[in-house]
Amino acid sequence: MGEGMLRRICHLGYAVEDLEAAAAFYRESFGAEPSEPEEVESEGIVTSMFRVGDSTIELMQPTRPDSPVAKFLDRRGEGFHHVAFEVENLEEALRWLGKCGVELIDERPRRGAGGRRVAFVHPRGAFGVLTELVESGGEAAG
């Protein structure tokens, strides 16, 4: 299963204090067109995305102080938060990674932005990088 599991980089997630200001920066400075904000209640964030070639940038602002993104901002400040890779079959990928001893945050898929099925690999299991796996299907990413 491991060989060829990652289909493409789906998106890069950036933690920001002010989603509106970050979206305006990318719109005005780079001509990007961030999407309308979407609240992902389960993650405690509001998110907006914009395309860069075949990939997407996800801007994330916390909506509550106990969310993972709020905790990240408190510890590290604004900036790169995670990389998301697209996989064809998320449950199969999680089973494989579990068999390989990779530390997972999610052992089962959950719903992310755009209703996509997602799961996270703990940074300790991926050389310090929070890694999201997003199941193929649709254009939105979570």
For the cut 90, the answer to whether the pLDDT of residue 3 exceeds it is no
DSSP bridge pairs for 11: 56, 84
| Residue-level pLDDT at 113 | 87
For the cut 90, the answer to whether the pLDDT of residue 135 exceeds it is yes
Mean per-residue pLDDT for 22-44?
A: 95
Indicate the helix (H) or strand (E) that contains 92. Answer: helix 90-99
Q: For the segment 77-121, what is each residue's pLDDT rounded down to a tens digit?
A: 999 999 999 999 999 999 999 999 999 999 999 998 888 999 999
State percent of the chain over pLDDT 70.
Answer: 94
Q: How confident is the model at residue 32 (pLDDT cuts 50, 70, 90)?
A: very high
The domains of the chain are located at 6-135
Beta-strand ranges (E) seen in the chain are 6-15, 38-40, 45-52, 55-62, 79-87, 110-111, 117-121, 131-135
Q: Which CATH number fits domain 6-135: 1.25.40.10, 3.30.70.270, 3.10.180.10, 3.90.1510.10?
A: 3.10.180.10
